[in-house]
A = this chain, B = another copy of it.
């Protein structure tokens, strides 16, 4: 199970009730916060997000609309008596900013905070349910995308058939891994007799803020759900390029080239009150597109 909840979908300045970027990716075990614009902790309260489940926070880059809410979230977690460790993956200078703000407040966090500076493309976390890779994207300052891939899921045991073959529960873990069972008489029970195939591992890619860059498709090929920014509608492609952002049809082109399952678009410029045209334009290029809407949970 992978699910993505949008906590903020706007660029730069909050506008029309839309908040700066923040997303929560959830597995059954853990939650991952991706970017943390100002007010993210308020959005978490609004949408009843359990902060204690968050094990890692990933920050794509150090423009304020992607991290100004982080220090407030960290200090609130501490005031709410969090004790379990938290990992932050972010561009290196963020560590100094956090330390400085804690120092001047004469504050320390109640929980261990592990800071992992993003330095090169590759694996950054290997957790129970998924692996996380980072990859560089083209923005005005150092900026990173993130790819989350579920690990191979366990096969599903048919309990009725497992009982018929008298397979002990202690062997269920191995059944889920695909092992055959050998009973007391030495007879082999083929795994396929008592299990059904696992669901296909799912994946999610977050491309952060980026210039239109076809090379991105290589990093996210075949991803189940691709998030790509669409700061502007297609007529403003020159402004988009000048500001290291993308348009609707450019996001659609990346999704198509990467053969993504679905595309989610967001990071809308504050100049737009209505978002319908973002969807219309992007769908002319890539039909399986949705708007990233605040408070909505997208099953992946």
**A72 engages B106 (CB within 8 Å):** no
CA distance A68 to B40 in the complex (A): 12
Contacts A62-B104, A105-B141, A141-B106 known; A68 to B79 CB distance under 8 Å? no
**B97 engages A38 (CB within 8 Å):** no
Question: Which of chain A's residues 13-43 have a Cβ closer than 8 Å to chain B?
Answer: 13-15, 19, 38-39, 41-42
Any chain B CB within 8 A of the CB of A257?
no
**Size of A's binding interface in residues, CB under 8 A:** 34
Binary per-residue interface labels of chain A (65-76) against chain B in the complex, 1 for a CB within 8 Å, 0 otherwise: 000110110011
Any chain B CB within 8 A of the CB of A182?
no
- With a cutoff of 8 Å between Cβ atoms, the chain B residues found around residue A105 in the complex are 62-64, 141
**B104 engages A69 (CB within 8 Å):** no
**B101 engages A64 (CB within 8 Å):** yes
Any chain B CB within 8 A of the CB of A45?
yes
- With a cutoff of 8 Å between Cβ atoms, the chain B residues found around residue A91 in the complex are 104
Binary per-residue interface labels of chain A (85-129) against chain B in the complex, 1 for a CB within 8 Å, 0 otherwise: 000000101101100110011110000000000000000000000
**B79 engages A12 (CB within 8 Å):** yes
Q: Other CB < 8 Å A-B pairs besides A64-B72, A97-B100, 15 of them?
A: A12-B76, A13-B79, A14-B42, A38-B38, A38-B39, A39-B39, A39-B42, A62-B101, A63-B105, A64-B105, A68-B68, A100-B100, A104-B141, A105-B141, A106-B141
